[in-house]
Structure 1
Amino acid sequence: MAADADRRWLVSALTLIVVFMAGEVVVGFAAQSLALISDAAHMLTDAASIVLALIAMRLSARPARGGYTYGLKRAEILSAQANGLTLLLLSAWLAYEAVGRLISPPEVKGSLVLVTALVGVVVNLAAAWCMSKANRTSLNVEGAFQHVVTDLYAFIATAVAGAIMLTTGFLRADAIASLIVVALMLRAGFGLVRDSGRIFLEAAPAGIDPDAVADQLVAAPEVVEIHDLHIWEITSGQPAISAHILVAPGGDCHAVRRDLQRQLREDYRITHATLQVDHLGEDEEQDLLQITRPTAGAVAADHCADSHGPVHRSGPHEH
């Protein structure tokens, strides 16, 4: 199964990272290098992000049951958001330490920094390659991958700093490399928090404009009006849509629904579509019937009296 293959690639990357991280911590303290220690701390978040990804993959694979009607698919998004937040928090701490070292740089062994960073580049290249084989359309896996790629760039910066310290004795290069790591962590962390936040807030998937979707659907034959249109993502890569569609009196509601679902599938890759299709004026007729011939417990239909979002109509006045 694809999910099993993804897990194997993630476990391989995790093993590489944990083994190297343990050695880097020892060398970092021996060399008094904040750049190496910050890289090791980032590798710790790499390992944590992969562990979270593995746990989230297992949870999201569980079938829907009970009150969790979508299953636990958004466990992956929780994992991605946790990865983003840890990057942001860790970058704040490393920035504080780096500024202190810019003011008062300690003695750093440039040779140890250079050799360790070069080995780190190789290890992160191998880990990134392993993770690139997994399904990166999942925001969860992409979050863990971004951790590793950010660490790869960080090791390159640290190797450059080690070479500068070894050849020129400029000790502040270590702190400058740490600040470069911080900038990379902030960029990756912000992107993960933003993307996972959009899913939690039920925003439309990136690249899909709900108004454009509605305009296309309302232009279909026999469609008169579309309202209560909602587009969101159940989890990364799984968009869903719901809408109330009104068709012309006498129109074939089932044929219209099938045609709209086909358009959504082919043009937007939305396969989870819940469309309520009614004839225009049907509600008013039902309301009138209940007023003239009330029954016990009857309630006026009057649904969608206060629709959510814009109303799209066919003809010259669509919104």
Structure 2
Amino acid sequence: MAHAHGSQGHDHGAGHVHGTTDKKRVLIAGCLTAGFMVAEALGGIFTGSLALLADAGHMLADAVALGLAWYAFHLADRPATGRLTYGFGRVKTLVAYTNGIAIFVIALWIVYEAWGRLEAPAPVLAGPMLAVATLGLLVNIGSFLVLHGGDRASLNMRGAILHVLGDLLGSAAAIVAALVILATGWTPIDPILSVLVSLLILSTAWSLMRAAAHVLLEGVPPNLDRDVIAGDIEASVQGVREIHHMHVWSLDGSTNMATLHACLDEGVDAHQAVSAIKKRLAAEHDISHATVEPEFGQCADRHEDHDDGDHDAAAHHGHHH
């Protein structure tokens, strides 16, 4: 059913194929994670291990994250509506952002718990803990391999892979803690390692949230430079005198859009100039959807005293004088 509207002349076929396989990958990883998370939480309660509970808390965040990521792929497949003219592509970015916040909260809770444990160490059943942690590691390796074959440019997939990587480290930490306790009986290693895991989770959550926030704030995609693109069009498209009021943003972290005013020389065919600009944006700058407003002489918006317009114009006059 994901393919229902894959053939209506969209020119991003490759992305579409990726989306469908990614959706399956995320679903498999989500089911693996959710199933094992329950086992690990019970194991953590039974053995008294905070490292296992930390990993289970992390896996809970992940199971939710993977479920949401799957749902985001599912929604992104739906066509645009009259109310949501861009479709549901950005749901994935919202999910990535919300997801980052959820992990933050869980990681902070683990640090708080660990602090209490260091002050009053609790007994830990290291044998069963080792068994549960080893199983967890195997499940996480499975999930990681499933996801790793997906599209790594997608924020949604990046989020999913980060989660599972964090889980891998969480399981590894729990194994180390169990081995240390078995060998020496030193239980504080359990809360200490659980804190290390949560710090790791915090840093990955932070970078994911930053990337997602940039998309939500309509930031220029990290691999593009608006002023360079404007300069390139002025230099390479015939009849273009100046580019201003240019905005470049991304819908979902992978599809780029732009709007701009193109000031043309007198006597230039506006239709030809606009289509040349669009071709150049698509071919050279990976901007698949552009709205170009052609102008002769005076800019239509000049009288509104747009500060971004004036600043752009000033920046671009540099190319000409």
Tell me the TM-score range normalised by the shorter chain: 0.7 to 0.9
Does residue 279 (structure 1) correspond to residue 296 (structure 2)? The answer is: yes
Give 1:37 shift: 0.6
Partner of 2:124, secondary structure, is coil
What residue identity is the alignment partner of 1:78?
Answer: L
What residue identity is the alignment partner of 1:242?
Answer: T
What is the CA–CA distance in structure 1 between the aligned matches of 2:256 and 2:132, rounded to whole Å? Answer: 44
Report what 2:225 is aligned to.
209
Map 1:135-284 to 2 at 5 A.
135-220=151-236, 221-281=238-298
Does residue 308 (structure 1) correspond to residue 288 (structure 2)? The answer is: no
What is the CA–CA distance in structure 2 between the aligned matches of 1:106 and 1:89, rounded to whole Å? Answer: 24
CA 1:60–1:170: 2 relative to 1, 3 Å: same
What is the CA–CA distance in structure 2 between the aligned matches of 1:56 and 1:314, rounded to whole Å? Answer: 40
Q: Is the Cα contact below 8 Å between 1:253 and 1:279 reproduced in 2?
A: no
* Unmatched segments (≥5 aa) in structure 1: 284-300
Give 1:143 shift: 1.4
Give 1:5 shift: 2.5
Report what 2:122 is aligned to.
106
What residue identity is the alignment partner of 1:274?
Answer: T
Give 1:317 shift: 5.1
What residue identity is the alignment partner of 1:260?
Answer: I
Higher gyration radius (CA): 1
Encode CA deviations 1:255-301: one digit per residue, 9 max, x unaligned. 33233222222222111111112223476xxxxxxxxxxxxxxxxx7
Question: Out of 88, 92, 97, which is 2:113 matched to?
Answer: 97
CA 1:52–1:316: 2 relative to 1, 3 Å: closer
Q: Is the Cα contact below 8 Å between 1:203 and 1:232 reproduced in 2?
A: yes
What is the CA–CA distance in structure 1 between the aligned matches of 2:64 and 2:164, rounded to whole Å? Answer: 11
Partner of 1:225, secondary structure, is strand
Q: Which moved more, 1:66-75 or 1:128-137?
A: 128-137
Q: How many aligned positions are there?
A: 302
Indicate the percent of aligned positions where both proteins have the same amino acid: 32
What residue identity is the alignment partner of 2:253?
Answer: S
Map 1:31-42 to 2 at 5 A.
31-42=47-58
What is the CA–CA distance in structure 2 between the aligned matches of 1:70 and 1:314, rounded to whole Å? Answer: 30
Give 1:233 shift: 0.8
Does residue 10 (structure 1) correspond to residue 11 (structure 2)? The answer is: no
What is the CA–CA distance in structure 2 between the aligned matches of 1:98 and 1:146, rounded to whole Å? Answer: 23
Q: Is the Cα contact below 8 Å between 2:263 and 2:299 reproduced in 1?
A: no
Partner of 2:263, secondary structure, is strand
Give 1:307 shift: 5.4
What is the CA–CA distance in structure 2 between the aligned matches of 1:262 and 1:70, rounded to whole Å? Answer: 21
What is the CA–CA distance in structure 2 between the aligned matches of 1:193 and 1:114, rounded to whole Å? Answer: 33
Partner of 2:78, secondary structure, is coil
Report what 2:71 is aligned to.
55
Q: Is the Cα contact below 8 Å between 2:130 and 2:174 reproduced in 1?
A: yes
Q: Is the Cα contact below 8 Å between 2:26 and 2:160 reproduced in 1?
A: no
Q: Is the Cα contact below 8 Å between 1:138 and 1:237 reproduced in 2?
A: yes
What is the CA–CA distance in structure 1 between the aligned matches of 2:154 and 2:319, rounded to whole Å? Answer: 39
Report what 1:288 is aligned to.
none
Q: Which moved more, 1:38-47 or 1:307-316?
A: 307-316
What is the CA–CA distance in structure 1 between the aligned matches of 2:251 and 2:283, rounded to whole Å? Answer: 19
Report what 1:73 is aligned to.
89
Give 1:316 shift: 4.4
Give 1:48 shift: 0.4
Does residue 121 (structure 1) correspond to residue 122 (structure 2)? The answer is: no
Give 1:134 shift: 3.0
CA 1:316–1:23: 2 relative to 1, 3 Å: closer
Report what 2:8 is aligned to.
none
Q: Is the Cα contact below 8 Å between 1:224 and 1:280 reproduced in 2?
A: no
Encode CA deviations 1:14-48: one digit per residue, 9 max, x unaligned. 22112222211221111100000110111111110
Q: Is the Cα contact below 8 Å between 1:12 and 1:127 reproduced in 2?
A: yes
Partner of 1:17, secondary structure, is helix
